[in-house]
Structure 1
């Protein structure tokens, strides 16, 4: 498993589909994962340090873990089948729970747990960004600095 970090979330045009972008910590590969708008907002909230007045679902999961004396050791992005990504939430008790990567990432960002990705998955779905393309990634990061969670809400919500 290879450690990855969340670069951020954005809306892919023209489909208006949110993605979360993960980056290999000690490498040059990026992994884009298409996610739902609610999960995109949850990840953006965590990344921006937004604390809602009442716990959202991922905040509730964090409180549930804490209240039962569990800790989240790590989130593992394990595979992709037919374009669908899969993840595992690994608790300190040894319990492993299958979950969507988006929910897992949102929870990891709230708990500070590390996020790892199967090397085979990075080989298959990762995108290598050599140093000379780092400027494009920097532009993406600038975009992320100016995006707000409300940008991920659908017009009919």
Structure 2
């Protein structure tokens, strides 16, 4: 497994869908995952440490997990099949470890809220890399693509301001 971090959120120009961009510490793997607008909002809120007066869905999941004696240890992005990514929440309770099927976007929102690692299968990363064009997969097309790529490459997570 390879530890990944959230590099940023972007918008696919064609589909107008949010793209979550993950990358590893060595910049060997950049993993774009198309996600829904609500999941992008949850991830943005987690990155910015926005709190709401009442628990949102991802807060509720963590609260239930904790109330039942479990703890989110980390999340794993496991595979990609026909363009769909699969992930698991890895929950511990004492010595017991339970893996719970989850969408990557929900897993990542929970990982950010719980401040736990985001892990990705080496096999899945190699598969995703083999499907990419060149060193990085083009996730933004058009005349602004090169400019966006250069801009994203020079920022670190602390420099990026998320507004959704």
Indicate whether the TM-score tops 0.5: yes
Cα distance in 1 for partners of 2:44, 2:18 equals 11
Which secondary structure state, in structure 2, belongs to the residue aligned with residue 49 of structure 1? Answer: coil
Pairs within 5 Å for 1:39-78: 39-78=39-78
Once residues 53 and 32 of structure 1 are traced to their aligned partners in structure 2, the CA distance between those partners, rounded to angstroms, is 32
Runs (5+) with no aligned partner, structure 2: 137-146
The answer for the alignment partner of 2:114 in structure 1 is 111
- The answer as to 2:113 corresponding to 1:97 is no
Q: Which runs of 5+ in 1 are unaligned?
A: 150-157
Hey, what's the Cα distance between the residues in 2 that align with 1:2 and 1:122? 9
Equivalent residue, structure 2, for 1:8: 8
Q: Tell me by how many angstroms 1:137 deviates.
A: 2.3
Q: Within 1, Cα distance between the matches of 2:52 and 2:78?
A: 30
- What is the TM-score with the length of structure 1 in the denominator? 0.83
* 1:153 match: none
Higher relative helix content: 1
What is the DSSP-based 3-state SS (H/G/I as helix, E as strand, rest coil) of the residue aligned with 1:66?
Answer: helix
Q: TM-score, normalised by structure 2?
A: 0.80
Question: Post-superposition shift, 1:83?
Answer: 0.2
For 1:155, the equivalent position in structure 2 comes to none
Tell me the CA shift for residue 136 of structure 1.
3.6
1:138 Cα deviation (Å)? 3.7
Higher RCO structure, 1 or 2 (CA under 8 Å, sep 6+) = 1
Kindly tell me: are residues 140 and 35 of structure 1, through their superposed partners in 2, closer, same or farther at Cα, counting changes over 3 Å? Answer: farther
Matched residues, number: 145
Aligned residues of 1:89 and 1:96 also touching (Cα < 8 A): yes
